[in-house]
A and B are shown apart, each in its own frame.
Chain A
Amino acid sequence: MTVSYDNSKIIFDGIKAAGIKSVSALPETWLGLLLQRAESDPDVQLVQVAKEEEAVGVAAGAYFAGTPHALLMQNHGFLGAINGIVSLAQLYHVPLCMLIALRGHWGEPYPWHTRGGIVTEAVLRALGIPFEYAREPAQVAKQIREAWTFSQSSLSPVALLLTRDLMED
């Protein structure tokens, strides 16, 4: 199994088509090709963080600055960023458009990803974070645009879960 080149391009094009100008991320395998594109695109500002919770702060700064911003992270990074999501984004009504690589779920061969994958949906529900699964390349650009729109109207974090069907060939 390899990371899908074509679908990584579709997702990146979808991010740009949604009007997003800035992306914060912590690199992970499924997001690698996407981040390479972000890194080499002069129209997108990429901020690589040392830990995903930092990206919540960076995203808040971008929001205050008025620059459309998305966060790219693995679900384990999301789990590690929860205090920032709760006590900055939700507490202050700062929108977050999160694209989350859903590792450790259906078809996962690596044991170390599995617990995080199993609990991700339940944690999102517990936090009251609206989410959708992205499985179809033909749908994902629309889903990114809608995630963005909903984050801005609800002033809330929203999550688009990037699944194995989408991310691997």
Chain B
Amino acid sequence: MERARCLEMIYSELTDTLVVTIMGASAQELYNLGHRENFFYLQHAMGLASSIGLGLAMHLPAERVVVLDGDGSVLMNLGTFATLARYRPRNLIHIVFDNGSLLSTGGFDSHTTSGITDLAAIARGAGIEHVAAVDTAVGFGEAFIAALERNDLSVIVAKVAAVGPERYGMDLQLPENAFRFRRWIQHRKRATEQTS
């Protein structure tokens, strides 16, 4: 299973959803499907995508938040599973694409290679109730739909191949991404307040 294929499958569901990605291939593959103002690409600060997601989800309970994480990044911030479990935001879906590789930095094996470290088990052990471990496109699609319908904190660990996009590059400066992402949220908040 390829991560790009998984992203294609869920892309149409991400129209009104706040999406936070990690650096490198994950960010690029989502961008390549078509950037939206509700996408934030964390191109550094490895490990913090899920923490940003937590901050968004807790402070915007009416919005849905999807975090697109990776094994290398989440291994840098394993405490995030415990913090997510403690606050259990019902509007957060945390997807961890596990390719067993530090692909963006030369393809070195990560600790999850060959099943040594089980991220789904870590998430469960941290206290997250709804954790799916999938390794097929169908399984991923089903897990994502179940997470959308569940309305509770959900973690999906998806085993994917260690492949990325052929080319990297975005027509978007990093602060510009942050400014526009925030503006999109604030416009939406104001629109909701006016209609309610």
Contact = CB atoms under 8 A, between A and B. Distances in A.
Interface of A: 22, 24, 45, 47-51, 53-67, 69, 83-84, 86-88, 91-94
B80 interface: yes
Contact of B178 (A22, A62, A84, A93): A93
Given A53-B77, A61-B54, A65-B55, A91 B44 contact: yes
Interface in B41-62: 42-45, 47-60
Contact of B54 (A57, A69, A87, A88): A57
Q: Is the interface of B mostly helix, strand, loop or mixed?
A: helix
Contacts of A24: 55
B56 A84 contact: no
29 contacts: A22-B58, A22-B59, A49-B51, A49-B79, A50-B79, A51-B79, A53-B47, A53-B51, A54-B77, A55-B51, A56-B45, A56-B51, A58-B55, A61-B54, A61-B56, A61-B57, A61-B58, A61-B59, A63-B182, A64-B18, A64-B182, A64-B185, A66-B59, A66-B186, A66-B189, A87-B45, A88-B52, A92-B174, A92-B175
B182 A58 contact: no
Using C-beta atoms within 8 Å of the partner chain, give the interface range for chain B.
35 or more
B60 A88 contact: no
A64 B47 CA distance: 18
A129 to B, nearest CB: 16
A94 B178 contact: yes
B86 interface: yes
